[in-house]
Structure 1
Amino acid sequence: MNELDPQSIVPLYKQLKDLLLQEIKEGIYKANQKIPTELELSEKYQISRMTVRKALAELVEEGVLAKKQGKGTFVQEEKMTEDLSSPNSFTNLCKRNGKVPGGKTLKCTLQEAKDRDRQQLKLENGEMVILVERVRTADDVPVMLEKLYFPGHLKNILVEDLNNASLYQILLEKYGLQSGNSVMEISVCEATPEEAAELKVKTGTPCLLMEEIVYDQYDKPFHRTKSVLRGDKFKYISPRMNVVKHVNSN
């Protein structure tokens, strides 16, 4: 058992914090696992509960641990991180975060285009749309419910097996099309009963709502997407660049 050193110049709360971090890294405490209580840690390492509380508070603030009312303190599962300056497919997002991508197709149908489809996808009068609805998984855990709307002329989508498959890879192979630029809007929503059932969460659970228009490599509308993502599974970052204006002193 690792011991804390009261004679060290490193404060005891910092020693405990570092020790817990190391044990989490080594897998002694795994994601979503409950850690010992303040009292148990206090007795185990012969330190005050105030010292334990300070160490745990810092780990909670840093997102390593999470307190659940009436249940205790748990190890936070590391969220999948996506850089908004260079977004990529769900498959690649999972692979970059060390997860195994998967999915289940709920619906794949040809249907009448709505006004929003015609406007955002630049459809001709009478052109249909293909709706693909899928639950996406990471390490077999449902994390995203997505609805993708494609122009109806991409009919090969309808005969493809999209379970555990990369739709982008299929479109590249069948049509030579690949995603390019996109316009994305992210907001917060609450899971409806239907969404909650597919994502294995409680109704009303806070989620991320992502709506996106994706263009192909020729800058033509490729598809529009509406996705509901579990808020406990994703983290999006966006680099910010300051523009320095030079003032002419002459």
Structure 2
Amino acid sequence: MIDKNSKSPIYYQIEEWVKAQIENNTFKIDKLIPSEREFIERLGVSRHTVRQAIGNLVNQGYLYRIPGKGTFVKDRNLIIKENRYTSFSEDMAYIGKNLVNEVLSLEYQEASKSIANRLTIDEKNPVIKVRRIRKVDQLPLAYEMVFISQKIVPELPEEKARTSLLQFYEQEKDLKIGYASETVEAVLVTEKTAELLGLPLFSPLLLVRTKLFLDNGQQVHYMKSYFRGNKYKFSLKLHR
């Protein structure tokens, strides 16, 4: 369990052990983990080392603390939305996950009638179409198609398509993002998407359609995102 002769620091070994307990569901989501005393007795380590390991796991998004109650396992697949639009990149950074965007294609084309309707532009107006696989902790979590109005964003370098589009719009194009509208539905994976995400046929997916707007009401992009149904979930906090 803990090898005091290992070159790896004891606190790091504790972190990896706790992560393994979370992964195999021994330590359950939103349930209290053992106390410091239990860790000390079970692992034969110092209080300082336990506190360092637990603190690191809190900072990494594996655990959370409630004052007066203890430390609990955090649901790292749960995104909480509170009346504010956040990008997938921001969501993953918030819960401490490593995100890599793999660009499958980037094309400049004319908008079809269907895409023109979803982008609120005229048919055959120029758009940029981007297809991406979004890998989280090396697992293909989402397949995404984005259609960007070239009236708003004339060009998109491929290296920028591998980063956060929202960040690109705001920081490099100086666009003032106002709001987004989203629809969510449960679907079954098709053969093509199953292959891209490494899933068996008929696996459940969440299909999220997003329209992103500037603060003046102009639409920037239309996005379709297919998420693994067992690895992505979000909670909406809505005020009356």
Q: Runs (4+) of structure 1 moved beyond 6 Å?
A: none
- CA separation in 2, counterparts of 1:179 and 1:101? 23
Deviations 1:153-179 (CA, angstroms, capped at 9, x unpaired): 42321x331464112222234421143
Counterpart position of 1:65: none
Could you tell me how far 1:25 is from its partner in structure 2? 8.8
Give the direction of change, closer, same or farther, for the CA distance of 1:225–1:125 in structure 2 (3 Å limit).
Answer: closer
Could you tell me how far 1:125 is from its partner in structure 2? 5.4
Q: TM-score, structure 2 length as denominator? A: 0.66
Select 2:132's aligned residue among 131, 134, 138.
Answer: 134
Give the direction of change, closer, same or farther, for the CA distance of 1:26–1:175 in structure 2 (3 Å limit).
Answer: closer
CA contact (8 A) 2:82 2:238 kept: no
Select 2:21's aligned residue among 10, 15, 29.
Answer: 29
Counterpart position of 2:42: none
CA RMSD of aligned residues (A): 2.7
Q: Are 1:161 and 2:180 an aligned pair? A: no
SS in 2 for 1:210: strand
- CA separation in 2, counterparts of 1:25 and 1:237? 29
Give the direction of change, closer, same or farther, for the CA distance of 1:28–1:146 in structure 2 (3 Å limit).
Answer: closer
Q: TM-score, structure 1 length as denominator? A: 0.63
- CA separation in 1, counterparts of 2:147 and 2:119? 9
Give the direction of change, closer, same or farther, for the CA distance of 1:123–1:163 in structure 2 (3 Å limit).
Answer: closer
- Within-5 A mapping of 1:110-125: 110-124=108-122
- CA separation in 1, counterparts of 2:84 and 2:150? 28
- Within-5 A mapping of 1:98-109: 98-109=96-107
- CA separation in 1, counterparts of 2:124 and 2:201? 37
SS in 2 for 1:204: coil
Considering only CA atoms, is the larger Rg found in Structure 1 or Structure 2? Answer: 1
CA contact (8 A) 2:103 2:161 kept: yes
Could you tell me how far 1:116 is from its partner in structure 2? 2.7
Counterpart position of 1:217: 215
Counterpart position of 1:48: none
CA contact (8 A) 1:110 1:131 kept: yes
Counterpart position of 1:205: 203
Counterpart position of 1:96: 94
Count of residue pairs the alignment pairs up: 179
Could you tell me how far 1:28 is from its partner in structure 2? 5.1
CA contact (8 A) 1:104 1:162 kept: no
Aligned identity (percent) is 20
